[in-house]
Amino acid sequence: MKFIVDRDILLSALSVVEKFVPSKSPITLLSGIRFIASPDYLSLSATDLDMGIEHKIPVVDTSDDSIKILETGSKVFPARIFSEIARKMPMGEVMFSCSDGRVEINAGNFSMTLPYFESEDFPEITRDELSPAMNFSQKLFKNMIKQTIFARAEESTSRPQLTGILVECRQNTLNMVALDGFRIAWRKENLEKDSSVVNADFSLIIPGRTLMEVSRIFGDGEESFTLYAGKNRVEFRTESTVISSRLLEGNFIDYEQVTRVEPKTIVDIDVDSIFSAIDRGLTLAREGSKNNLIRFRISDGLVEVSAETEMGSLCDRMQCQKEGDDLLIAFNARFLMDALRSIETPDVHLTFSGESGPCIMRPKGAQNHVNFVLPVKIRGEDY
């Protein structure tokens, strides 16, 4: 195998795939990045078996000096040392020549050799048995991940399915849901009837780690991707990249039913104002031992945010539009702040169903984005 590639193009490709290389693995081959040089493209692949990636750099013009395939082949280069050295190479073209178990790398006046592995046993990233499920906007899917992923459970949970995000299509609506037992983040989008849904309805629990990488790699332009799904695997395919992942097993609660509550108190308030007040409250609340507890006292036209610990107390008052009953209720400040960060409108619509019921948070004027946060029970001494 022998090829020439521009250093900056190489670094861009490495930045896409290197996070899929496991930091530790009993399988030596997985500690490397597989390079495939073909007449039409140069591809880089990495996997930890749970998730993997293949990224292709097309050879669009043989007269273009940015990439030249001189001899086709496939080898696995050691990822950690190679990636670190690549960032320190001089600018310009880099030549790779493989023979007798070593790859020689030349860039300007710089040269080095590294061992390589044969690639015959390197796991394939794509699976033929998967079927197309959906074609969708990269930018919009990326934004949906951002607005839900914070609510997933920690990896230490006894319910591993909650470390993932539910991605499901029902009745021509794409739903993305994350929850951890204390809160729910739910985002939905109507799909275009002509081309968005390729197959029937589906329901997939995708690991949060996978979707974090998808969000990092997906673009912010008009590009789309195709979702492929099977019994226990899923793939995200773009024009140049395939991301493959295992699926999580288990069930999610009926999020539609849970987020449907009887409103007793309704508040419309400026997002920045309430976020800043909660942030100030958290500064004090986190010094105590009450789960970052802050209190809301809601009355006509006013929301009072307060916190009290052994160190001191504080109180913030903000104007609001309020309907229904007055209310005293407490929450974990971090949960509210995470939800408020995902709101993209100037004002937020808050619905409460009493002092022991959840807060249902929606962007004002929007129905396709819901946050559900359970309150913290207030003891007598917390009043």
What strands lie across the sheet with 183-190, from one edge to the other? Answer: 202-207, 164-170, 173-179, 183-190, 369-373, 359-363, 347-352, 265-270, 321-324
Assigned token pair, 279:
């942030």
pLDDT score, position 200? 75
Q: Decide if pLDDT at 127 tops 70.
A: yes
Burial category of 185 from C-beta neighbours within 10 Å (exposed 0-12, middle 13-18, buried 19 and up): buried
Q: Decide if pLDDT at 383 tops 50.
A: no
Where do the structural domains in the chain lie, given as residue ranges? Answer: 2-118, 131-255, 261-382
Look at 62 and 206; give whichever has higher pLDDT. 206
According to DSSP, the β-strands at 359-363 and 347-352 are antiparallel
pLDDT score, position 378? 79
pLDDT score, position 380? 57
CATH of domain 261-382: 3.10.150.10
Across the range 105-118, mean pLDDT stands at 95
Mean pLDDT (the chain) is: 92
**In which element (H, E) is residue 142 found?**
helix 138-146
Rg (CA), the chain: 26
CB contact set of 140 (below 8 Å; sequence gap of 6+): 189
Assigned token pair, 22:
């496991």
- pTM comes to 0.92
Per-residue pLDDT reduced to its tens digit, 78-94: 999 999 999 999 999 99
Across the range 67-83, mean pLDDT stands at 95
| Alpha-carbon 379 to chain mean position | 37
* Number of other CB atoms surrounding residue 342 within 10 Å: 19
According to DSSP, the β-strands at 183-190 and 173-179 are antiparallel
Helix (H), strand (E) counts: the chain: 7, 27
The residue assigned the tokens 């100030």 is 280
With pLDDT > 70 as the criterion, what percentage of the chain qualifies?
Answer: 95
Per-residue pLDDT reduced to its tens digit, 166-216: 999 988 899 999 999 999 999 999 887 555 555 678 999 999 999 999 999
pLDDT score, position 61? 60
Burial category of 232 from C-beta neighbours within 10 Å (exposed 0-12, middle 13-18, buried 19 and up): exposed
Fold match flag (131-255 vs 261-382) = yes
pLDDT score, position 196? 57
Per-residue pLDDT reduced to its tens digit, 33-47: 999 999 999 999 999
Look at 378 and 184; give whichever has higher pLDDT. 184
According to DSSP, the β-strands at 327-332 and 293-299 are antiparallel
Q: Decide if pLDDT at 381 tops 80.
A: no
Across the range 258-285, mean pLDDT stands at 95
- Number of alpha carbons in the 13 Å side-chain half-sphere of residue 300: 0
Instruction: Give the CATH H-level superfamily of domain 131-255.
Output: DNA Polymerase III, subunit A, domain 2 (3.10.150.10)
CATH 3.40.50.10860 fits 2-118, yes or no: no
